[in-house]
A and B are shown apart, each in its own frame.
Chain A
């Protein structure tokens, strides 16, 4: 006679199952803890900075924490200039590579070329920072600008562009690859050529994914630190400038400069460390917003096909 208790299985077995499940739940909860810690530390210390800083110093000649000038516009527009240069480089390169890989390359060529893109994506940003300052600055930026200094926002922007190209290429390629073959076949059936099919059928069909790729690129460019810290110069701070030929400061580079320089030891720089967290919160908010928007676009692709 089979009873309900028999079907429940042995209590030890059920106990072990519950225990294992609880362990995994605990592991999953760690990411909630980390998220909470990030938000709490950033907000707490940023508030501390806001309450102690003279608000007038937030709008001044530049970002010179040593002297107590914390002009947000300087580092914000510095970030914008470098990210914009990066996107001007990375958008055609990344999308071009993506269209080629998805629409033109034979499966064999794709198998060889895609890993190379991935290898490029795996190169650490410090190394690209070195490349920007050792190769790109003397070869491209200095002749163009006619400047003597190897440090410039232009060189940093080029480096950031190289950094985000593989990211854009792989996300956009995924999106185009997901476009059903039937759409292409319909286009060919109407007599369209490969180029028209790629540009007028596949590209519009994958547009959400491509927009997501571009937004992710911008977000990555804004958050990029090492390339800018090495190649943009302005370690001690910077007055307001948007000229790509000049050294400049971004939000991220301002943070590493504060952490590495002798700023902590300076008199009148007691606000320097709290200001790190304020800039960090700003950066966190911007990238979080961009990532959420790009996720929306990605979800739209998934829904479509």
Chain B
């Protein structure tokens, strides 16, 4: 049996048929085109790799040598002792404020839009507002932060403070949370909800006990990605009062005074150092980038892993 098919395959007739079907030409054009497409991907990946290599080459040695000192030291005009401590503190406060303000509001808004809202004029306006907000350039949120949180609400925020920065970032991130959450909610099939209503559950009971658990992995993934976005976003903080030069954190201040005082964030420090022409600051900047990228790639990696782990097809 196998001998016969092998003989068939080698017969001159079948070879001729195969040739004709293949158009008699070597498919050079096809291969060339596919190679071109792969090249596009390879260039994109090459950038990622060369970026990481360059950053490690410049900043890796310094980071390894300074170690914990670099992570805790304050900003300084002297590259030998400057560190990212204040930046990490500022970024953490901002991330916590995003978690506390943007996430509950964003998820709540998404639940309203997906589960409660009927197709009315108000709903359409709401949808348009969210989508447009998500497309507004980050720096415009910086203007919002400068005008509203730094200037108008200065009695609450203390002016150019980390509170103002945190609120600005929360405003920037909120529409993104709404969109990713709404997508996860939409992916839960109608039948799940109908089954819930069928046994007499109220709207909230259906959402709480059936829709949200199914949507949770998606919401979690989106939230992690959003959080990493908030961690790396720089432009709005530049306008919303983040300090680019050095400042001294005075010891012995209360929580409120610290939060209302001057602040900086990890990406702001990278920005400030990257602009300095001296080699010392280039190294510092690369070292700060390693810290920043480590956090962001870790968050994004976790999100991508979670998504592939919990991916569900209905």
- The answer to whether A32 touches B204, judged by C-beta atoms less than 8 angstroms apart, is no
Within 8 A of B (CB), among A4-45: 9, 13, 16-17, 20-21, 23-32, 34-35, 37-38, 41-42, 45
Q: Which of A25, A38, A96, A256 contacts B36 (CB 8 A)?
A: A96
- The answer to whether B37 touches A100, judged by C-beta atoms less than 8 angstroms apart, is yes
Complex Cα spacing A28 to B125, Å: 11
Q: Which one of A16, A125, A280, A283 has the highest number of Cβ atoms from chain B below 10 Å of its Cβ?
A: A280
- The answer to whether B234 touches A291, judged by C-beta atoms less than 8 angstroms apart, is no
Q: Which of B41, B137, B175, B289 contacts A31 (CB 8 A)?
A: B175
Q: Binding site of A, secondary structure by majority: helix, strand, loop or mixed?
A: helix
Closest to A94 in B: B40
Q: Binding site of B, secondary structure by majority: helix, strand, loop or mixed?
A: helix
Interface size on A, residues (CB 8 A): 85
Binds B, one of A53-61, A178-186, A224-232, A236-244: A224-232
Q: Which one of A219, A252, A260 has the highest number of Cβ atoms from chain B below 10 Å of its Cβ?
A: A260
- The answer to whether B135 touches A288, judged by C-beta atoms less than 8 angstroms apart, is yes
- The answer to whether A288 touches B143, judged by C-beta atoms less than 8 angstroms apart, is no
Complex Cα spacing A260 to B175, Å: 27
- The answer to whether B293 touches A38, judged by C-beta atoms less than 8 angstroms apart, is no
Q: Which of A45, A101, A127, A131 contacts B147 (CB 8 A)?
A: A45
Which A residues lie within 8 Å of B244 (CB)? 260
> Which 8 residue pairs spanning A and B have beta carbons closest together?
A223-B137, A96-B40, A124-B232, A27-B108, A24-B112, A225-B235, A100-B37, A291-B135
Within 8 A of A (CB), among B273-311: 274-275, 282, 285-286, 289, 292-293, 296-297, 300-301, 304, 308
Q: Which one of A17, A21, A101, A124 has the highest number of Cβ atoms from chain B below 10 Å of its Cβ?
A: A124
Complex Cα spacing A280 to B37, Å: 38
For the A-B complex with A122-B300, A277-B143 known, give 5 more contacts whose Cβ atoms are closer than 8 Å. Answer: A38-B144, A97-B41, A123-B293, A124-B233, A126-B267
B225 at the A/B interface (Cβ < 8 Å)? yes
Which B residues lie within 8 Å of A255 (CB)? 139, 142-143, 239
A189 at the A/B interface (Cβ < 8 Å)? no
Which B residues lie within 8 Å of A222 (CB)? 137
Closest to A233 in B: B275
B199 nearest CB across to chain A (Å): 14
- The answer to whether B44 touches A21, judged by C-beta atoms less than 8 angstroms apart, is no
Within 8 A of A (CB), among B128-183: 129-133, 135-144, 146-148, 171, 174-175, 178
Which B residues lie within 8 Å of A24 (CB)? 108-109, 111-112, 115-116
Q: Which of A259, A280, A287 contacts B238 (CB 8 A)?
A: A259
A-B contact count (CB 8 A): 255
Complex Cα spacing A94 to B40, Å: 7
Which B residues lie within 8 Å of A17 (CB)? 202-204
- The answer to whether A135 touches B50, judged by C-beta atoms less than 8 angstroms apart, is yes
- The answer to whether B270 touches A126, judged by C-beta atoms less than 8 angstroms apart, is yes
| B interface residue numbers (CB < 8 A to A) | 27, 29-30, 33-34, 36-41, 43-45, 47-48, 50-51, 54-55, 58, 104-109, 111-113, 115-117, 125-126, 129-133, 135-144, 146-148, 171, 174-175, 178, 202-204, 225, 228-229, 231-235, 238-239, 244, 267, 270-271, 274-275, 282, 285-286, 289, 292-293, 296-297, 300-301, 304, 308
Complex Cα spacing A45 to B202, Å: 47
Q: Which of B29, B30, B38, B138 contacts A223 (CB 8 A)?
A: B138
Complex Cα spacing A118 to B297, Å: 10
Which B residues lie within 8 Å of A28 (CB)? 108-109, 112-113, 117, 126
A295 at the A/B interface (Cβ < 8 Å)? yes
Which B residues lie within 8 Å of A124 (CB)? 231-234, 267, 292, 296
Q: Say whether, besides A34-B174, A219-B135, A260-B238, A16 and B296 are in contact (CB < 8 Å).
A: no
9 interchain pairs (CB within 8 A)?
Answer: A17-B204, A34-B133, A41-B148, A122-B296, A123-B51, A134-B54, A134-B282, A193-B27, A223-B139
A123 nearest CB across to chain B (Å): 7
- The answer to whether A27 touches B44, judged by C-beta atoms less than 8 angstroms apart, is no
- What sequence of 0s and 1s flags, for each residue 139-164 of chain A, a beta carbon within 8 Å of any chain B beta carbon? 00000000000000000000000100
Complex Cα spacing A291 to B175, Å: 15
Which A residues lie within 8 Å of B104 (CB)? 27
Q: Which of A16, A45, A280, A291 contacts B132 (CB 8 A)?
A: A291
Complex Cα spacing A199 to B19, Å: 24
- The answer to whether A93 touches B40, judged by C-beta atoms less than 8 angstroms apart, is yes
- The answer to whether B235 touches A252, judged by C-beta atoms less than 8 angstroms apart, is yes
Closest to A286 in B: B137
